[in-house]
């Protein structure tokens, strides 16, 4: 199959590379000349394990190319995927569809024969019908179908998620479009991964409902963690006991500083706004959003309390600033709330992150960056574990404690056992829900 992928951000690039690895001919399009130049030179603009090697393999095989020319990329294709950003719109919480509709208009003008125009971006219910209207207006004689194919890629595990998915969701309205998408995903059919064909609106809703539910699980366990701290229970034991129930499952039941990233914050807000527009308030989702914001503020209080009620003049080493490990993504990361609050209160904040420095230097001013935890902890009053990178899971705690001015730890990911931390020489330790 011949495929054009519009947008080389996280979703577009991963999807384009993986489709080419399925054996399809893929052209990835972007408006950013600098990004296309880097891709053509074999440089991946995002950090995602395994992506660079897979991209290099398929470029060498002649199945994957990159261009600024949308019209040339779209001419004669079987399917065009829209994978542009849908950030939260300023002021009202809606998903901003500016880039989606601009792409649809350009695609409409460029179509030379029948193609399926597939929205992979996360978009509110009803968007694909609007995409069809925009294409028809731009090219009244265009022969096409629209389809919804939301992505469910976890940053840090996106290649595996694409190649071995829990499910693929495809919203279509015609048998012709269904056949095109079935041919594109044929390698997954052959390996018997679930492919769910449904209507446009249902496919659009599945994405939002899934992300909102996962965000709710995270927020629920964080609320239980706060209660555990007051009641004397241990959230790790509680999470394990809950997760063994097959109806609940153990995923997304890890207490911490709240969810962040490119999906959950904007998708929960968009779903809440959708509910308001349809006069069906999403009361649970609205509460999840509010509680998640409160969780981040509660982490700041933990840090301040551990510093005897004030952080002014204190040297604080923060380990991890990305919203999760194995990514360089800083979008809505808890660090963007916690670190500025500490800096604003007069703390001298030192930062360590394997992949977050490139964006973090701009997003977290007034801080200093270090290469590893031991350098950052030298002479520090407090170490804060904020992102559970593997290199922070097996620290030499005795060495860390010896380097510090006052060895104290705020373990906001519960990576360590409190007794082990104290036995290593730390005079104070706090976790989450313990």
DSSP three-state, residue 325: coil
φ/ψ of residue 179, rounded to 5:
-65, -40
> Which residues are known binding-site members for NAD(+)?
30, 35, 86, 122, 155, 266, 331
The 10 Å Cβ neighbour count of residue 44 is: 17
SS3 assignment for 288-321? HHHHHHHHHHHHHHHHHHHCCCCCCCCEEEEECC
The answer to whether 121 and 85 have CB atoms below 8 angstroms apart is yes
Residues 6+ apart with CB under 8 A from 60: none
Name residues whose C-beta falls within 8 Å of residue 216's C-beta, 6 or more positions apart in sequence: 284, 285, 288
Q: Which residues are annotated as a binding site?
A: 30, 35, 86, 122, 152-155, 207, 252-256, 260, 266, 324, 331
Q: How far is CA 56 from CA 156, 164, 172, in A?
A: 19, 21, 33
Residue 399 has which token pair? 């060495």
DSSP state string for 194-208 = -EEEE-HHHHHHHHH
d(CA 400, CA 414): 17
Q: Which residue has the tokens 């294709």?
A: 77
Compute the distance between CA of residue 315 and CA of residue 343 in angstroms, rounded to an integer. Answer: 10
226 within 8 A of 298, measured Cβ to Cβ: yes
Burial of 13 (0-12, 13-18, 19+ CB in 10 A): buried
413 DSSP assignment:
T
Residue 336 near residue 349 (C-beta atoms within 8 A): no
| Residue 396 CA neighbour count, 13 Å, CB half | 9
DSSP SS3 for 408 = strand
Please give the C-alpha separations between residue 251 and each of 218, 221, 255, in angstroms, as whole numbers: 9, 11, 11
Residue ranges for the known binding site for substrate are: 152-155, 207, 252-256, 260, 324
- Dihedral angle, C-alpha 426, 427, 429, 434, nearest 10 °: 120
Q: Which residues are catalytic?
A: 263
Please choose, from the candidates 386, 407, 410, the residue with its C-alpha nearest in 3D space to the C-alpha of residue 398.
Answer: 407
Contact 327, 257 (CB under 8 A): no
């Amino acid at each position: 199959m011949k495929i054009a992928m519009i947008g080389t951000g996280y979703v577009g690039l991963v999807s384009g590379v993986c489709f080419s690895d399925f054996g399809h001919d893929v052209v990835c399009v972007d408006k950013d000349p600098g990004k296309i130049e880097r891709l053509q030179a074999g440089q991946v603009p995002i950090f995602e394990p395994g992506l660079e090697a897979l991209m290099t393999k398929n470029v060498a095989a002649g199945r994957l190319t990159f261009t600024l020319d949308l019209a040339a990329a779209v001419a004669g294709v079987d399917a065009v995927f829209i994978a542009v950003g849908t950030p939260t719109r300023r002021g009202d919480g809606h998903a901003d569809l500016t880039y989606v509709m601009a792409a649809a208009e350009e695609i409409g003008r460029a179509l030379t024969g029948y193609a399926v125009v597939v929205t992979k971006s996360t978009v509110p219910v009803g968007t694909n019908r609007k995409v069809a209207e925009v294409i028809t207006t731009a090219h009244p004689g265009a022969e096409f179908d629209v389809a919804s194919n939301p992505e469910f890629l976890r940053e840090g595990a996106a290649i595996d998620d694409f190649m071995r998915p829990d499910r693929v969701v495809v919203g279509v309205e015609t048998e012709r479009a269904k056949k095109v998408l079935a041919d594109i995903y044929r390698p997954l059919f052959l390996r018997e991964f679930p492919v769910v064909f449904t209507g446009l609106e249902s496919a659009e809703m599945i994405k939002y409902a899934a992300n909102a539910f996962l965000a709710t699980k995270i927020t629920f366990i964080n609320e239980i963690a706060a209660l555990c701290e007051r009641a004397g229970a241990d959230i790790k034991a509680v999470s394990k006991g809950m997760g063994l129930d097959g109806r609940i499952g153990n995923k997304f039941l890890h207490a911490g500083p709240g969810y962040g990233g490119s999906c959950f914050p904007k998708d929960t807000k968009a779903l809440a706004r959708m509910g308001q527009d349809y006069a069906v308030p999403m009361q649970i989702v609205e509460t999840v959003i509010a509680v998640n914001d409160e969780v981040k503020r509660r982490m700041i209080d933990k840090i301040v309390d551990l510093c005897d009620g004030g952080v002014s003049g204190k040297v604080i080493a923060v380990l991890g600033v990305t919203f999760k490990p194995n990514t360089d993504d800083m979008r809505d990361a808890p660090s963007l709330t916690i670190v500025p609050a500490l800096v604003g209160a007069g703390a001298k904040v030192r930062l360590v992150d394997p992949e977050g420095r490139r964006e973090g230097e701009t997003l977290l001013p007034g801080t200093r960056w270090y290469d590893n935890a031991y350098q950052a902890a030298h002479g520090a009053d407090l170490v804060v574990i904020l992102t559970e990178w593997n290199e922070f899971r097996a620290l030499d705690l005795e060495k860390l404690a010896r380097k510090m001015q006052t060895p104290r730890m705020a373990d906001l990911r519960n990576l360590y056992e409190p007794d082990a931390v104290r036995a290593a020489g730390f005079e104070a330790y706090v976790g989450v829900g313990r």
